Amino acid sequence: MRGTVVKSTGSWYSVRLESGEQVECRIKGKFRMKGIKTTNPVAVGDVVEIEAGAEGGVISQIMDRKNYIIRKSTNLSKEAHIIAANVDQAMLVVTVNHPVTSTVFIDRFLASVEAYRIPAVLVFNKIDLYGEDDLLMLGALTQVYMQAGYECLHVSSLTGEGIEDVVAAMKDKITVFSGLSGVGKSSLVNRVEPGLDLKVAEISESHDTGKHTTTFAEMFPLSFGGYIVDTPGIRAFGLIHMEKNEISHYFPEIFKRATDCKYYNCTHIHEPGCAVLEAVENGEISESRYFSYVSMFEEGEEKYRKG
Ligand SMILES: Nc1nc2c(ncn2[C@@H]2O[C@H](COP(=O)(O)OP(=O)(O)OP(=O)(O)O)[C@@H](O)[C@H]2O)c(=O)[nH]1
Ligand SMILES: [Mg+2]
Ligand SMILES: [Zn+2]
């Protein structure tokens, strides 16, 4: 029988069969990804083949993944974690404040989904909370990411403002919500699909640091068509291995500009006749995006030196 993994707790996997029935499964044997050690062999969104087991089902095979979102918990850790597989788009839920989401975090996330050609949308949540300075920052960040080619939505899952844009963008697609803990991913899912009633952090205990309220990724059907995968918040986004000369490919606006560089193997760090540096200079590429590119490039360099 074939089905889709809709929840994974690490030892048990809930698999939704084509009939709509849900079966609790364990895994049989070892599933390894080529070249990467992962903490979870099977992820939400995986299409799997299951057999009947002594208690519940047994996952015996994972079908080839169309794509996946993967991260390391820190840059030093050796193991990677698959956030979700076979998705149509990623919505990165970010907050300018309460908590602050850094541009470096946003850019690492975006680069890693670009690597698997997964379209990404930025959802700025909690706009009801923003003071004057926060709103200025919201405007500036929106400008930066629109210029880089990303759709940016402004919402409040508390007041419902802007939710219709999120619904429109999610219709008939498999969407994964990702972001720091406490930005309001589960609150947003509840707004979009009120019947779900997912657990969210108590206001009194939320403050500015997330409480890691959601502990397992889970996929839910949407009544207006499509699926949403809610995921546990992440602390930091460690990069999976990328070749240094590949990194610029995952910054769409840098990649586009690079065709005009004088040298075909330009790193866009110091070369004369670099069209990327020129674009940063005249404001066509934002400094914060370029800064993230350089930091990832240098990190790649360090890894290379250390072997
Ligand atoms: N003012 C305001 N508060 C919000 C909004 N969205 C979420 N919150 C609050 O922010 C806190 C965190 O929300 P959650 O939905 O639990 O956040 P999460 O991203 O799912 O967090 P994790 O599950 O820990 O990753 C809760 O106290 C929510 O009530 C919003 O738009 N405005
Ligand atoms: Mg949550
Ligand atoms: Zn260049």
Place of tokens 């990623």: 90
CA distance 132 to 71: 34
The pick from 157, 165, 187, 215 for probing ligand 1's pocket by mutation, whose C-beta has the most ligand atoms within 8 angstroms, reads: 187
**pTM of the model as a whole:** 0.93
CB 120, CB 87: distance < 8 Å: no
Q: Tell me what percent of the chain is helix, strand and coil, each rounded to the nearest 5.
A: 30, 25, 45
Which residues surround ligand 1 with Cβ inside 6 Å?
125-126, 128-129, 156-158, 181-187, 200-201, 203, 206, 210-214, 232-233
* Shortest-distance atom of ligand 1 to CA 210: 24
Going by C-alpha positions, the residue among 241, 234, 202 that lies closest to residue 80 is: 241
| Pairing of the two strands 2-8 and 47-52 | antiparallel
Ligand 3 centroid, distance to 279 Cα (angstroms): 10
pLDDT at residue 204 is higher than 90: no
Q: What is the pLDDT of residues 148-161, one digit of tens each?
A: 999 999 999 999 99
Nearest CA, atom 16, ligand 1: 200
Which DSSP string corresponds to 92-149?
Answer: EEE-SSSSPPPHHHHHHHHHHHHTTT--EEEEE--GGG--HHHHHHHHHHHHHHHHTT
Give the pLDDT band (50/70/90) at residue 307: very low
**Torsion sign, CA atoms 200, 205, 208, 213:** negative
Nearest CA, atom 17, ligand 1: 184
To the nearest whole number, what is the mean pLDDT of the chain?
A: 91
pLDDT for res 114: 95
Ligand 1 centroid, distance to 162 Cα (angstroms): 16
Ligand 3 centroid, distance to 183 Cα (angstroms): 36
User: Between 304 and 170, where is the model more confident?
Assistant: 170
Going by C-alpha positions, the residue among 299, 297, 184, 287 that lies closest to residue 247 is: 297
Q: How far is CA 213 from the centre of its chain?
A: 18
pLDDT at residue 68 is higher than 60: yes
pLDDT > 90 fraction of the chain, expressed in percent and rounded: 76
The pick from 127, 163, 200 for probing ligand 1's pocket by mutation, whose C-beta has the most ligand atoms within 8 angstroms, reads: 200
pLDDT for res 206: 54
Going by C-alpha positions, the residue among 118, 107, 40, 144 that lies closest to residue 299 is: 107
* Shortest-distance atom of ligand 1 to CA 230: 20
Q: What is the pLDDT of residues 91-124, one digit of tens each?
A: 999 999 999 999 999 999 999 999 999 999 999 9
Ligand 1 centroid, distance to 225 Cα (angstroms): 24
* Shortest-distance atom of ligand 1 to CA 156: 31
Ligand with an atom nearest the CA of residue 266: 3
Phi, psi at 224, each rounded to 5°: -95, 10
pLDDT for res 185: 97
Nearest CA, atom 9, ligand 1: 184
Quickly list H helices, 197-251: 203-206
pLDDT for res 135: 98
User: Between 141 and 204, where is the model more confident?
Assistant: 141
User: Between 237 and 193, where is the model more confident?
Assistant: 193
**Residues with beta carbon < 5 A to ion ligand 2?**
185-186, 213-214
CB 210, CB 233: distance < 8 Å: yes
Ligand 3 centroid, distance to 299 Cα (angstroms): 18
Q: At what angle do helices 132-147 and 103-114 cross, to 10 degrees?
A: 30
Q: Please give the C-alpha separations between residue 286 and each of 146, 159, 240, 278, in angstroms, as whole numbers.
A: 11, 32, 24, 11
